[in-house]
Amino acid sequence: MERPISRRDFLDGVALSTATTLVPGPGAGRPGDDVAVDEEPGHGRPPEWQGLQGDTADAMAVPHALRDRRFWERAGAPEATGEEYELVVVGAGISGLAAAYRWWRENPEARILVLDNHDDIGGRSRRNEFPVAGLVGYGGPPALPSSPSPETAELLADLGIELGTAEGTAEGAPGAGWAGREPYRELGMGEAVFCDRESFGTDRLVAFRPGWIDELPLADAAKSELSALFGNPPDWWPAASVAEKRARLARISYSGFLREICRVHPEVVRFCHTMPVHDRCRTSDMISALDAFALADDHSFPGLAGLGIPRPGGHGHVQLFPDGNHGLVRALVGRMIPEAGGRPDGGAVPARIDYDRLDLPGNRVRVRLASPVVLVRNDGPAETATSATVGYFDGETVRTLRAGAVILACWHAMIPYLVPDLPQHRRSALLRTVRAPMLYATVQVRDWRAWHAAGIDRVRFTGAYWSDVRLPAVPQAGERAAVDPGEPATVHLVRLAVKPDADPIEGAVAGRRELAEVPYEHLEFTVRDQLARLLGPTGFDPARDIQAITINRWAHGVPLGDGLPGGKPPFASPHDDPIEGDWRFGRIVIAGSDRAPEGGADAAIAVAVRAVDELTPARSR
């Protein structure tokens, strides 16, 4: 009875079932048993861990116990560490690190601590490494908008990172060339759609070339309508003004637009269902027709081009680094903690992070991982407080420390459980926050000859388990670009785990529950199955060609924000919430991408900068 409480003691039923399926058991008898799976999480650097990563059972155990009001029943009395910091940031994702960086730039001598419940830094901007082949990949959304917010543009410039354009980064910029897919085009490879048996009763790969619609396994009526929508759609509201057309598009989902305005064949709606998954982490019934209009191109979101609405600019995305937005994480850490980032010179981005140096006592800025925050409280009334107390669980004991200010760059739905004296109207607004669950898989393959033979480098599936499957933005061989399809490569797969045919919020909640019960073996099977179905005809053998798999499960993935059709989003937003953008509570300020109308790294950075600015007038008190 006197033994210390451990994080495992707080695992609830769902988390425990997840924990027991992190790694396939011995003797599973599946193909390719030589696939590397990290059977002991914690061995080596976090980016090298394989198997199931992301929102693991260990990362979620304490948050779930707080949610279910079981944590404090067993946690015991907090113990003070005696540590004091000018700023404590809750959350080591892009928003939390950007907030810490903003504060540090204004006061380089400040002592700053960043806490996170995960075992890796960067939140969903996670890096996946495959050391044997020297390959890296990304475990979450990998890109930034080509026309970012002013706050993001300023941060990138300060870090010496040149954003470039969606067609390619500027010459000489860190990671130059990772935004485009020109090497594949030079090899005659392109994009395609895979009409799968889950949607249309048969599997058929259709490359985007002249006449591609005729090759689809759709009814003739559906193909005829699809050709008209892509080729020469009408103006559906000829008497309406541009402003009214935009308003109408904003009030309806893209799938609703197809059904109710275009009145298309059901197979057309089914064909378009997964179009926005990679860029917006949503399906077509979760994205407004207005957002679809902004994303439309020659092979996606047909039917909108005839409305006579000016095309918006700056809606492209740029992947600057082979490990996606983790490159930005490396840059931020390299500046704030040079010892952990390899002491970059002249704005260069460090190649990797030294995790052993993130939390050294001598650091002005420290990052403490696997340390879920359980308590944030103003020291005295919020109106007059000059400091705050922060408590975190170190795996055995709740430790408390003193902070001059606290920035909550974490999931908003968790904040009411961390800040006990938060006013009720704010608690209610934050609890309405919903995030859609996501899966990102990174697979090391022996080579990419089968892709080259098929003439494809990225594919959208219409209804299979994984919606988007692609080679990296530039073929990679260690630290250089690969031009030989015979060299090893990474393959990236994305799944939006939202229950279909449901309200987006209800679908996200149901999808998260379902995802928590899916064992790793099934996830691995789906990866192998889809790659075999896609590339088997051109010689791909998953048992022979797959060498390692990392699956990043984000139970609380992308925020459901203003992109939802119908107007009012389901969470606290400066645009519509009763608290009307008042995100400060004494010495505590809320940041995080949930705060922005649309989530993502760009929004996370923008709100981080605003959070620091909101604290600035009080910093001298």
Mean pLDDT in the chain?
84
Residues facing residue 458 across a β-bridge: 191, 470
- Asked if the model's pLDDT at residue 343 lies above 50, the reply is no
pLDDT at site 478: 53
Mean of pLDDT values over 96-110: 96
pLDDT at site 449: 97
Query: 462-499, pLDDT tens digit by residue?
Result: 999 999 999 987 666 555 556 789 999 999 999 988 88
Cα–Cα distances (Å) from 193 to 116, 286, 295, 468, 495, in that order, read 39, 20, 17, 9, 15
Query: 444-471, pLDDT tens digit by residue?
Result: 999 999 999 999 999 999 999 999 999 9
In the sheet with 373-378, reading across from the earlier edge strand, the strands are 79-85, 398-403, 388-393, 373-378
Q: Are 308 and 586 in contact (CB under 8 A)?
A: no
pLDDT at site 145: 82
pLDDT at site 100: 98
Q: Between these two residues, 230 and 582, which has the higher pLDDT value?
A: 230
Please state, in angstroms and rounded to a whole number, the distance separating the CA atoms of residues 323 and 141. Answer: 10
Q: Are 287 and 496 in contact (CB under 8 A)?
A: no
Structure tokens at 33: 């048993």
List, in order of start, the domains of the chain with CATH numbers: 60-125+322-432+571-615 (3.50.50.60), 180-217+435-559 (3.90.660), 221-315 (no CATH)
- Is the four-CA dihedral 178, 183, 184, 190 of positive or negative sign? positive
Q: Between these two residues, 96 and 147, which has the higher pLDDT value?
A: 96
Query: 275-300, pLDDT tens digit by residue?
Result: 987 767 788 988 889 989 988 989 99
pTM of the entire structure?
A: 0.87
Structure tokens at 472: 């990296």
Residue bearing tokens 């903690």? 337
Residues facing residue 481 across a β-bridge: 476
Query: 380-391, pLDDT tens digit by residue?
Result: 999 999 999 999
pLDDT at site 40: 42
At residue 582 the predicted structure's pLDDT band, cuts being 50, 70 and 90, is confident
* DSSP label at residue 168: B
Please state, in angstroms and rounded to a whole number, the distance separating the CA atoms of residues 254 and 293. Answer: 9
Q: Give percent above pLDDT 90 in the chain.
A: 61
pLDDT at site 276: 82
DSSP state letters, 9-66:
GG--HHHHHHHTTSSPPTT---S-TTSB--SSTTSS-GGG--EEEES-HHHHHHHHHH
Structure tokens at 186: 């030079």
pLDDT at site 570: 32
Please state, in angstroms and rounded to a whole number, the distance separating the CA atoms of residues 485 and 99. Answer: 42
DSSP state letters, 70-131:
-HHHHH---EEEEEEESEEEE--BHHHHHHHHHHHHH-TT--EEEE-SSSSSBTTS-EEEET
**Residues sharing a CB contact under 8 Å with residue 283, sequence separation 6 or more, in sequence order:** 255, 273, 274, 276, 277, 496, 498, 500
Please state, in angstroms and rounded to a whole number, the distance separating the CA atoms of residues 254 and 565. Answer: 8
- Asked if the model's pLDDT at residue 593 lies above 70, the reply is yes
Structure tokens at 223: 């193909």
At residue 345 the predicted structure's pLDDT band, cuts being 50, 70 and 90, is very low
Query: 2-53, pLDDT tens digit by residue?
Result: 445 555 455 443 333 333 222 223 233 333 333 333 434 445 689 999 899 9
CA angle 140, 143, 145 (to 5 degrees): 140
- Is the four-CA dihedral 47, 51, 55, 57 of positive or negative sign? negative
DSSP state letters, 139-150:
SS---EESS--H
Please state, in angstroms and rounded to a whole number, the distance separating the CA atoms of residues 395 and 60. Answer: 13
